[in-house]
Structures are given as structure tokens and as C-alpha cells.
Amino acid sequence: MKLNNILQAARLFLLALLIHSPFAQANTEAAPNKITYRVKPAYRDSLNMQVSFRYKSDQDGKLVLRYENDSWGDKNIFDCIGSFKVEPEPANISFMRDSSLIIIQTEPNQLTGISYTIKQDFNEPLKNYHRYRPIIQQEYFHLLGMRLFITPDELFGDDTDTAVVEIIWDTPAPGTIFHSSFGSGLHQELELTRVMLYASYFVGGDFRRYQYDFQGQQVNFLTRGNWQTFSDSAVFELLKQTIPTHVSFWKDRLDAPFSVTLLPTFEEWTETSKAYSIGGSGLTNSFISFASNNAGTGLDRLVWLYNHELLHKWIGNTIRNEAEEKQYWFSEGFTEYYAYKLMLKSKQLSLKEWVETVNRDMIVPYHNSSVNTVPNSALTLDKFWSDREYHKLPYQRGFMYALLLDQQLKQRSKGKKSLDHLMLELLQSAKNNPSLRFNHDVFKALLLKHLDARAIDDFEKHIVEGKLIALPKELPEGLYIQTEGNAPALKIKEQANTVKLTQHLAL
């Protein structure tokens, strides 16, 4: 082994010890800051949300507020701010879109009252690409925490620091409901990080709510509109089937009530134009989902979506990326791999359906992609949100790498271990050390522990440098590779023992 490889291996070994050390815990911090928001949902009368809070300026009379203007693929979110008032009247207010800041100049150490409204800034029918913008209509509202709350910049320190966030909501109008990532309480006092507040949702209006108890925690499903191709009860049953599989896989539990929303969007479905779209996001103790309310969106598409988004409770929200898009190959690609794996394990997909689906959605598109060999450093947030092929790349590349790695681990251990063991170990490390952030060194330390230095070379080659990932040379008995056009695809041999093959793939 070359000297630089020996040094790298030693460094990764020491990192592995640190990751798994019982002493690698976050330091105890001072009492968190606190803020109280009062929210009046004025969607029926004024098509806006009215929010107010009080906060003290610093010793120089400056109060710096944060509101993310460009984030999650959305731009110009400042356009959603309606009225903005400050009391006592300040000397100056500067809206700084480029830095997502609002700077108020007032008296030193002045307790300042802020009141503002948030409005919907588009008039066309709701489409999937509107999903992260404030949605405020006469019948209902749907907002992310990052779109509803303007926050004092000093309220949170780094991404592990917490603050006490008190939210007091006006009573909903008769015949309507209110719900959020934090439950249905109108007076909520929560200790949150900035990310936990941003990655939360708040809905109200003509939603329908369904609830059941899972291991002592309430699971909530909320939807609205009249669905064309499935019923509320079918989606609710899907949740009931999916949650136990995931909790069992992770050897974990729901540590708080969990909530899911499903919102209908409009995409045209005619003889000449057949468009549909589905999407979602894993949030704090919840996820949101959106689907075209037309013939193109069947329940089978929600099965995939709900497996993917539920996995983000663990991959993304517990095992957190250090540099977001630089680890999307993991947080989206490994999530994609495990969505299909758990669907096979839980019989939501048959073996035939699993092979057909991963060929159609992952393997063939990856090999046909025009960007499948760009280095990981070429994926920027702007490209991820604006270029469809770059957006798909981390899902596809991460899936292919997870498939390769899973097979290597099974072969090396003669079926005694799989990628599951590495994932469970990583989860436990993240739970033991909440300040741990997933990065390439953390992952390579695990590779070195479970495989050897050759696995690190493969990682550098395929993930960092972006070289094409071929299907594993040694496939489980019963599978073979067949070229379709310019891309390889998995096929099931006629004489395959499908029960044994399914068990191997789901291991």
C-alpha cells in the first residue's frame, strides 16, 4: 500500500473511533434564546397570514432579521412579504434580497415589535413547482416554516443550536382545521434548531384529517380536494403499511407524533397533453406530498413517493449532511435505493416489478444521462434545482453505488452482512452524537471498517470523480445483464428461484 494510502487509512481509522466513541457528544449549551410568534390565518378574508413578534435590538440599535429569499429551488420569496411594520418607528429598514436579510436600525437595546403579512405570489392554478412557495387561498393555506417565519438572525447560532419557539395561533373558523409538523395544538412551545423550524409545515382550512396510533404515537394524514384515481382511505392504508416496515428496518421508533399532507396540483391531462407530477419533502417529524389530480397519478406512484419521503426521517433528518448538495448522492441516492429495497421487502413490489422499476427509473436513465460522468463537485444547488439531468444525477448515481456496495458487502461476508449493517451503524452514530454531520470522511471511515482500502478507491473513483458505475459483475444467482439500446438492464433468468432471489435482494 502506498504511503499516502496508509496515512489516509490511519486518519480514517481514528475518525471511526471518534464517530463511535461514547464521549463524542454535543457540549451542553447555555439556555436557548426564546421568541413568541402570534399568527392570524386571514386567508378567507385577506388571502394572507398575519404574523407578529417582539425582539430586542443590539447595543448599536441594529436588529438583523432573516428570511430566505432564494432557497429550495424558489427565488424571490421576498415577493411574498406583504405589509411590514416596526414599532416604535425605526430610523431605517433595509431589505437585502441578495443576503436574505432585513436590517432594522432603531434605538440601542430597543424591544421592537415586528408585524408582517405573508401572501401567495402567483395567480395560476397550483402546480407541483409551486409546492415550496406560500400557498394561501380562500379555502386553505399550506406553508413551510421557512416561508412563514421571519427570524432574528441571532436567535440561532450554528445548525445545532436551539431556541425556544412559541407559536400562538388564532382559533380556526368553524368547519376548518389547523395542523402542523408539531401537531394540532394552537399554542405550541418548542425547542428547535433553525433547520427544524424551517423544515416544518403549517396547514389549515378545508383539509380532511385521519389519525391512528402507532406504538403510542399519533400518525396524522391530511388531504383535501376530490381525488380522481384513489381514495383517502387507500392512501391512509398505505401509510399504515409503510411506517411499520421502516421503523422495523431501522430498529427504531417514532419519537414524536408524525404527520403527512397530500395536496392536489393541476397538470393538464387531455388527448393531446398528458402531464402529471408528484413530489414531496421530508420535514421535521413529518413529510409533505403533492400529486397531479388526474389519470396519470395512480396509487402505485404514491407507494414509491411515500417510501422515499418517509426514509428522510432517518436519512437526511437524523443522519444530516455536512454540505447539503455535496452529499446528495447519499441523502437522495441511498434513500432511493432503500425505498425500492424496502418496497420489495414489504411486498409492495414483486420481484418482477422491482426489476422493471429499477431498470426504468434508475439503471437505464443513469446510463443514458448526458451528465453521468461529471465529478461530484460539478453538482451545485443552482444546477440541482434548475437542470433536470443534474437534479436526477445524485438519485441515480447514489442508487447505482448503493447497489454495487450492497452486493460487495454480501459477497465479502457470504451473506452474513449487507449495506443495512453500515446504515444502522451510521444511524446509531448520528443518534449518539447529534452534532455529527455526514461527509465523505465519515463514510470512508465506515467503508474501511466494513471492507478495505479498495472500497475507498472505488468511492473516490465513482462518487468523487464521477466515473461511470457499472452494474456489479457478480450478481446474485438468478439475475443477468442484458443491454437495451445503449444501456444495461437487469433481467431475471427463466429458471431463477424467485423466492431465494427476492430474499437475497431484500437482505
Percent share of the chain, pLDDT over 90: 88
The span from the CA of 91 to the CA of 82, in Å, is 20
The answer to whether 304 and 343 have CB atoms below 8 angstroms apart is yes
- The letter for the amino acid at 501 is L
pLDDT at 12: 53
Q: How far from 234 is each of 23, 298, 347, 376, CA to CA, in Å?
A: 46, 11, 16, 39
pLDDT at 32: 60
The answer to whether 201 and 261 have CB atoms below 8 angstroms apart is yes
Instruction: Enumerate the domain spans of the chain.
Output: 314-506
Q: What is the pLDDT of residues 11-25, one digit of tens each?
A: 554 455 444 444 344
> H or E element: which one contains 210?
strand 208-214
Q: How far from 22 is each of 18, 19, 137, 433, CA to CA, in Å?
A: 9, 9, 50, 8
Which band of pLDDT confidence, cut at 50, 70 and 90, is reported for residue 304? very high
pLDDT above 60 (res 132): yes
Q: What is the pLDDT of residues 212-237, one digit of tens each?
A: 999 999 999 999 999 999 999 999 99
Helices (H), 22-107: none
Q: Is 455 exposed, middle or buried (0-12, 13-18, 19+ CB in 10 A)?
A: buried
| Sequence-distant (≥ 6) Cβ neighbours of residue 498 within 8 angstroms | 351, 478, 492
**Chain-wide mean pLDDT for the chain?**
93
The span from the CA of 442 to the CA of 422, in Å, is 12
Q: What is the pLDDT of residues 326-384, one digit of tens each?
A: 999 999 999 999 999 999 999 999 999 999 999 999 999 999 999 999 999 999 999 99
The span from the CA of 39 to the CA of 134, in Å, is 15
Supply the CATH classification number for the domain 314-506: 1.10.390.10
Which band of pLDDT confidence, cut at 50, 70 and 90, is reported for residue 2? very low
Q: Is 33 exposed, middle or buried (0-12, 13-18, 19+ CB in 10 A)?
A: middle
pTM > 0.85: yes or no: yes
pLDDT above 50 (res 165): yes
pLDDT above 70 (res 6): no
| Sequence-distant (≥ 6) Cβ neighbours of residue 117 within 8 angstroms | 42, 46, 48, 49, 50, 51, 81, 82, 83
